[in-house]
Amino acid sequence: MRIDKLAVTSREALQTAIGIAGDAEAGAVEPIHLLAALLGGGERNISVIIERIGAEPAALARAAQEAIDGAPKVTGDGTQMGLSRDMVRVLERAEKLAAKMEDNFVVTEHLLMALAEDKGDAGRVLRDAGVTPERIQEVYQELRGDDRVMSENDKMQFEALEQYGRNVCDLARAGQLDPVIGRSEEIRRTIQVLSRRTKNNPVLIG
């Protein structure tokens, strides 16, 4: 696994996982530490995917922490903690998933898919909640559409429009918009601007 293929958010998650493993006095960084990092790091996209599948991110975070607390502790010698073989396999699998999906970098969603395939605690926690690799990929594809991860700073903004905007088309279909009276010229001009084929970067204010 090439670390330079990790997107910024994925590198941050891995760094957090290293810290979690250190606090837990683990012998190495395991997939369960990465899962805990994704669930506890405020990564909105991960929460959106999990919620769409029908699971609760908070419940998964608790289950992950319980697995970490129940793992054997190792007294370290102060040297830098390394990645376990299982953790390396997760990163390699995430890189392959990114390539398969034509993404240039590994984002946290790829990590989540790879973690769901893990045969250890991380995979068990996810699959017990119904968060399977197939469901993660299905929801991820649905949410991102035709978007691709082209740079290490790319980050899919799931539900950003729903969170910060209003779909006036849906409101109109539901009959929730007040009728516009006495604005025929403004409406005609708006339609003209929106439908022209060149210099079409309109901003509607008001």
Tens digit of pLDDT for each residue in 92-120? 999 999 999 998 999 999 999 999 999 99
Exposure of 8 by Cβ count < 10 A (0-12 exposed, 13-18 middle, 19+ buried)? Answer: middle
Closest residue by Cα to residue 95 from 77, 82, 119, 113 = 113
User: Which pLDDT score is estimated for 78?
Assistant: 55
Q: Are the C-beta atoms of 103 and 110 separated by less than 8 Å?
A: yes
Higher pLDDT among residues 199 and 34, named by residue: 34
199 has a pLDDT exceeding 90: no
User: Which pLDDT score is estimated for 149?
Assistant: 79
Model pLDDT for residues 66-99, shown as the tens digit of each residue: 999 999 888 765 556 799 999 999 999 999 999 9
> What is the distance in angstroms between the CA of the first residue and the CA of the last residue of the chain?
50
Q: Are the C-beta atoms of 96 and 111 separated by less than 8 Å?
A: no
Q: Which residues contact 115 (CB under 8 A, 6 or more apart)?
A: 31, 34, 35, 38, 90, 122, 123, 126
User: Which pLDDT score is estimated for 44?
Assistant: 83
Fold of 3-160: Double Clp-N motif (1.10.1780)
User: Which pLDDT score is estimated for 125?
Assistant: 97
pLDDT band at 184 (very low <50, low <70, confident <90, very high): confident
pLDDT band at 193 (very low <50, low <70, confident <90, very high): confident
pLDDT band at 130 (very low <50, low <70, confident <90, very high): very high
Q: How far is CA 37 from the centre of its chain?
A: 12
The two structure tokens encoding residue 177: 């918009």
User: What's the pTM value of the predicted model, to 2 decimals?
Assistant: 0.73
Q: Where in the chain is the domain with CATH 1.10.1780.10?
A: 3-160
205 has a pLDDT exceeding 90: no
Q: Are the C-beta atoms of 121 and 39 separated by less than 8 Å?
A: no
